[in-house]
Amino acid sequence: MLKRIAVLGWISFICLLLSACTNHTANPYLSTISSPSVKPDTVVLPVSEQDTTTIERYLISRSLVNIHDLDTSIRVVLHYSTNQNFLHQPIYKGLTHCYLPCEVAIKLCNAQAYLKMNYPDYNIIVFDAVRPLHIQKKMWKELDMPDKLKINYLAHPDDISLHNYGAAVDVGIIGLNHVLIDMGTDFDRFDELSQPKLENKFLEEGKLTATAYKNRLILRQCMVRAGFMTIPTEWWHFNATNKITAAKQFELIE
Q: Residues, the chain, total?
A: 254
pLDDT at 185: 96
The answer to whether the beta carbons of residues 155 and 136 sit under 8 Å apart is yes
25: Cβ–Cβ under 8 A, 6 or more apart, which residues?
A: 63
Three-state DSSP class for residue 174: strand
What does DSSP say about strands 123-128 and 75-76: parallel, antiparallel, or unpaired? Answer: parallel
The answer to whether position 180 is within a domain reads: yes
Query: What value does the mean pLDDT take over residues 113-122?
Result: 97
Long-range Cβ contact pairs of 207-212 (< 8 A, separation 24 or more): 208/184, 209/182, 209/184, 211/182, 212/182, 212/183, 212/184
The answer to whether position 93 is within a domain reads: yes
The answer to whether position 118 is within a domain reads: yes
Q: What is the pLDDT of residues 160-200, one digit of tens each?
A: 899 999 999 999 999 988 899 999 999 989 899 999 999 99
Q: What is the pLDDT of residues 36-92, one digit of tens each?
A: 223 333 333 344 455 568 889 999 999 999 999 999 999 999 999 998 888 888 888
Pairwise CA distance, residues 212 & 183, whole Å: 4
The answer to whether position 56 is within a domain reads: yes
pLDDT at 21: 65
Q: Residue 193 sits in which domain range?
A: 2-249
Going by pLDDT thresholds of 50, 70 and 90, the confidence category of residue 251 is: very high
119 vs 36, which has greater pLDDT? 119
| Domain total in the chain | 1
Expressed in angstroms, the distance from the first to the final Cα of the chain is 50
The answer to whether position 57 is within a domain reads: yes
What is the CATH classification number for the domain harbouring 102? 3.30.1380.10
Kindly report the three-state secondary structure assignment for every residue of 91-149. CCCCCCCCEECHHHHHHHHHHHHHHHHHCCCCEEEEEECCCCHHHHHHHHHHCCCCHHH
The answer to whether the beta carbons of residues 64 and 98 sit under 8 Å apart is no
Going by pLDDT thresholds of 50, 70 and 90, the confidence category of residue 6 is: very low
